[in-house]
Amino acid sequence: MTEPALSDASGASTTVFVLNGPNLNMLGLREPEIYGSDTLDDIAGMLEDRAQELGLEVDVRQSNHEGHLVDWLHEAHASGVKAVLLNAGAYTHTSVAIHDAIKSITVPVIEVHLSNPYKREEFRHKSLVGMAAKGSVAGFGANSYVVALEAAARL
C-alpha cells in the first residue's frame, strides 16, 4: 500500500521524490572529471539540508533497473507527492517506458543531470525524459539537484 506524502498545514504535499537511475550509485568514483567527486550520499545530504530550509521532505532513491524507476513514478502519483526530481542516467536517452510513465502521471517531473548532455556525445543530445518532463536542470554538478529542488518548491 502506498503511503500518503507528507503535507503542510494547508494540506499541500511537502514530499519530493528524488529518483536516480543506473550507475548513479557509483558517483564519486565514476568519471569524476565529468560527474564530480560528490557521492550520491553527499547529494542526498545537500538535498535534505536544503529541503528542510524550504519546508520540504526528500525521499532519495536509486536503482539500476528501469522498472523500479517506472514503479516509483507511479508511486509518486498514487501518494500525491509535490514533485519528482529524476536523473534517469542513460535511460534518459533510451527509455520509452520512463517517458510514458512521466506522461501518465500528474505529478510534475523535473529532469536533472550533473553534466551538460549537449556538450557530450551526440547520442546524449536527445532526452526522452526531457520530452515528458516539466523542465530540466543540467550542467551544474551536484548543484543541479539543489536548483531543481528549489524549482520544485515553487511549483
Enzyme catalytic residues: 35, 113
3-state DSSP of 33-46: HHHCCCCHHHHHHH
What H or E segment, with its residue span, contains residue 136? Answer: strand 135-138
The Cα–Cα gap between 58 and 15 comes to 6
Cell numbers for 135: 523542465
**Residue 85 β-bridge partners:** 18, 110
